[in-house]
Structure formats: structure tokens, C-alpha cells
């Protein structure tokens, strides 16, 4: 097993698809995920995906949960529907440390 802390963004699907790959890979121990900038929409998307699809309850970190930036692409909503936002995140720098 390899331990992984995945740092990602959600402006396009590539990092999200990598998250799915990492979460489901039998030789990866996904320890935590951080998102940039870390909006409530991003946190909701990541936490929903990890808990609902993979039954993982791991830390999710954000740099700026109060950011109003549109950080989740329309592709995510078209592919997976409306997912509620979440502010349940730790500071990303603490997770990376």
C-alpha cells in the first residue's frame, strides 16, 4: 500500500477523476484530500464522493472555505447532479503538514 494525500482543484474533471481512481485503487491508502481554493461547493463534492461512493471518512482540507469563487466546473454538475455544499473541512496547510 502507498499512503497518499491528494491535493486537487475542480475547475475541470481531471483531478476529480484522479480522486476517483485513488479512492478506489486497492493499493492506495488515501489519507486525506485538500482542495484549492476550498470552497463549500468543492468540499461538498469531495466529501459526498468519498463517503457515498467509497465509504471513506477521511479529512478534507481547504485553504479558503469562505471563497466565493466558482470553483466547481459545470461538467461535475452535468455528470453527477446537484451535490450540497459543505463547510466541514480542516485548514489545508494542517493536513499537508
- pTM score: 0.94
- Whether the CB-CB separation of 61 and 96 falls below 8 Å is answered with yes
End-to-end CA distance of the chain: 21
CA distance 54 to 97: 25
Answer left, alpha or beta for residue 63, where phi above 0 means left and psi between -120 and 50 means alpha: alpha
**9 half-sphere exposure, CB direction, 13 A CA radius:** 9
Q: pLDDT tens-digit profile of 59-92?
A: 999 999 999 899 999 999 999 999 999 999 999 9
Q: pLDDT tens-digit profile of 40-68?
A: 999 999 999 999 999 999 999 999 999 98
Q: What nine digits make up the cell of 11? A: 475547475
Amino acid at each position: 500500500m502507498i499512503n497518499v494525500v491528494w491535493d486537487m482543484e475542480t475547475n475541470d474533471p481531471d483531478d476529480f477523476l484522479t480522486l476517483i481512481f485513488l479512492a478506489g485503487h486497492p493499493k492506495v491508502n488515501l489519507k486525506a484530500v485538500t482542495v484549492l481554493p476550498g470552497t463549500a461547493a468543492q468540499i461538498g463534492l469531495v466529501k459526498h464522493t468519498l463517503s457515498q461512493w467509497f465509504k471513506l471518512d477521511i479529512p478534507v482540507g481547504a485553504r479558503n472555505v469562505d471563497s466565493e469563487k466558482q470553483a466547481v466546473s459545470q461538467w461535475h454538475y452535468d455528470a453527477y447532479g446537484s451535490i450540497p455544499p459543505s463547510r466541514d473541512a480542516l485548514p489545508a496547510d494542517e493536513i499537508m503538514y
